[in-house]
Structure 1
């Protein structure tokens, strides 16, 4: 399907309702900005957005089940194009969408480049070219340029007289289907449809391509439809499988724990498979009501009738139902917004419900699939398997890396840790008496409070654990106590699938632009595999980092900041919880209260200033854009503190407050650090700091 929409977001609902059965969509004039998030449920999106200007942009949407990868994303002069290669029963096929604006010129080198990438290609696009001998009403300048390309002989066009653009009483064929041999022989059933929305404009073009596309392998992760789960059957089957595990067997070695864990995991998974269906992956367009869908179908029927009869009555009928469709879509959006807003006024709101409502308006963390090329260490990855392995290599080599112990402090920590380990081994015989066993009631209490988080590689969801049986709790208590007693986490629970979130405004082709999120087993929160679409990378070891929610992260933070309140006076009390700090005081006058709190805040400021100064000299080497962002934050804070309007100049703010700008303050610290190093005759530090100063001076010049 091909269409020029002059704004994809405006017409998404109608496109999904009308053309959802088509596997490949070519869309011109998307009007999307490069930083704008956009997705179509069930499709991989390949975009080339217009830079620094309004309008334009092209998009290819390929159904997610089809094997494909981006092979071209380019703008040559004003010609915008994106091309994707798919696997078919007849070999590789390149599909490209091209948009050429009315004032632009057709660039033959773009079409030559597409053909050189793959001589079996299909090109769809609004070329704004009219060529009379190929079905247009007349020939324009771009029609002459198109004719020159066709005369080269490697491309042919669908030769029909279907008009693709209508405005008032003017109709013309300016959208084209171009293809090489033998692909063009497989194209049939070409037809046009009613323009989208309420205006006469470009008509959607649909056709059938008689080729079978190769499908991606099914995802190794099982996804269950919990809405259709038979929980009574699940609990019955779970007990049947658990009864096959010998409760009397002793867990005395690490191997015993690993074997027991695998058996327990298999019991839960088998019970889930028998009691609940797998998610079928069907795409539902929940934004459009059934009434709207029927009106859209009726609109296209009436349009065809009018174009066939050219009857004035049929024309008026079409215009009327076109308005009804537009109003119905608007009403659907209003109803959806009303339903979302009503959730905010509910008497009881769970945190998950609040977050789901927030996500409707704020899609910063929306998972965005990127289907283009990925580049890492001079390696270019195109397909999902190559990308997954590139991410695995990047995370293994640069992110989850255990840093070498080089300083005397590290050696001191290692010595102390080794001493503690030796002491623990000596007390192994009496360890059983040093902790209270985990009880079944404690496990039940925890299971009831589990959030509905995504499952790990074992596919066990927290909903399944919430529907526990007494026998499952007994098995969990046994294995948890064995784990604590022996200090061994089962290997099965250390595996994770990593999904990727693109960081805001980052380059999509670079692995470092993605934030990894590890999905671990719900039974334990460490090998990992990167998951892209339905493909997993090779497994690799995680050598650093802590699981989200682990008490170790805040504990390490507390160890670093434990002395931050040492100089706070007795008249002020304080509270620390991980990275949150609160100061409070009491007094019989506001003036005294203000003085006490300010004194305490100043003492705290002295503590963290001494920590910050260590980083300032290194920060000086950063990009100017980072300095600019930091300066904006400082300016906003000063305006808020002084109650100044947003248009107040930066110079006035710093002149009035006598507070130096961030970069100037950092340079002062750098010069002081150089002077201090020279005083103590620390030649190494002096040399390093002066090198940083020279880099700074060079960047400013």
Structure 2
């Protein structure tokens, strides 16, 4: 295809043909896989696919015969059928009537008297959860659910469908029978109408339940049939069964943890606090309110207690939960199950058969998370009152967010550029930061800032001797120990990491700016000579030393330099003697920031994603009700376009046209699907 002026890496173009081809690709949810030159210095030979993962290992090779174009080789990905015994999935009938029966059972049970027969925290907790689940099972027993659930159409649709098929077969036998042909047309028309009405009503029910229902519906429709395909373990052996896959994942995830290192000590400049918090009070009303705010989720938990059970039974359970929480903090002992987590592997990018291309999502006990939430609220209140949190940290704190951080940084950068100066930014990536925090050093820091007594004893117990299992489908891996890090999937984890990293900005020289969002760090300086750039180099050495002293590693290959301002000579920066790679565009908290601050790459990216989502909406959502489609657009697609618009709000005409075109295309397709093309607005 003779359109050489498209950059297939960032989708930039400088001709009308290129724009038309990119629009076609975006609107058909296709991906173009060739990014290298195929003839001299031009990319003329293209390969499109939908979905994007249909092809892999695309390579440009030598010319074929006397052709002046290079050959392109690629693999077509296809799943290999693997017959396996699928374990039954069980589900409860979670109705309001059943919860009323369950609450009556809980209200009549003498919890305090029965638990008095047990003496340790662990035995009391186990007795409590066992009793909870016993009544839960009796009120709402688990019933097997077929994994392959066919659409349960109304009786009238199935009857018409059968009659239509019968008439179709008859018409094939006697194609000249006009009576059969007429009956077939009438039934086909009736079936189309009644099926359309059925889908409209179904979509109305989904929309009427709100945004979360729409998200859940699309998530289920887009979810792959096989969550984790065939894998290769560390020895190159093929893992076919879910058990083998989960063990391969477990070995990979465990590699992220560091062995215990008791030699690390807190820095001498880490100020010890005179103020202390040693205990918190548990109030039945506070716990009741917290339980009522829990999500309506029936998700997996190590102790099998779902959120929805705690929420629906908050009134009858809050008193005994309050007693248990009080006992746990007083004793400094936590239930053993609270140290366990279930890990779900989530694919990131790359080859799906490689375990390193998955990240772990941990599920912890729901009651533990409830306890943590109460504790976190009190700890944050204590730390805020003493102005502990660095003003440069924007993660996991109220009134701070990704947008406020980017606004703060870009406001400084725009001011620098207006003064005719340049800005150098270095993005630093800590290697598995949350998983590698040394527990002993974290405890030292926690104690130094005034967290002591019963709370400190709880935290020591909470952080040590943790374990995890990987779950794939219905199978679990072996159990693996956790040697370091803040607990993934916990409520306390993010706060503990913020405490751990909070002292980093204090080490940097004046004139060097730092912005932190959890473990995402960037250092930047304004400069028109080498003085401030030397300070940035010094800051990189300090940051490297801080990381080493605090047991963290830096992924140098993931660190990036971004240079802003006219005539910026892009000086090279180093970490541990290795050069940091230079880029013209960087993904920063979900926004693509380029050197000229035009946000062209970001607008191109979200435009492509929006076209893909439009394709998904009309493939999945069959409603012919315009209001339903508009609601889906506002719920599912518009958040993508509106995220952080304060940062990248378009000013260029071509950007505005690109963004407005998304709504025009959606409007056109919506009116067409609803059969209202004659009412289509003129702009669409």
Measured against the shorter chain, the TM-score band is 0.3 to 0.5
After TM superposition, the score normalised by the length of structure 1 is 0.47
TM, length-normalised to structure 2: 0.48
Flag the structure with more relative contact order, 1 or 2, with Cα contacts below 8 A and sequence separation at least 6: 2
Structure whose alpha-carbon radius of gyration is higher = 1
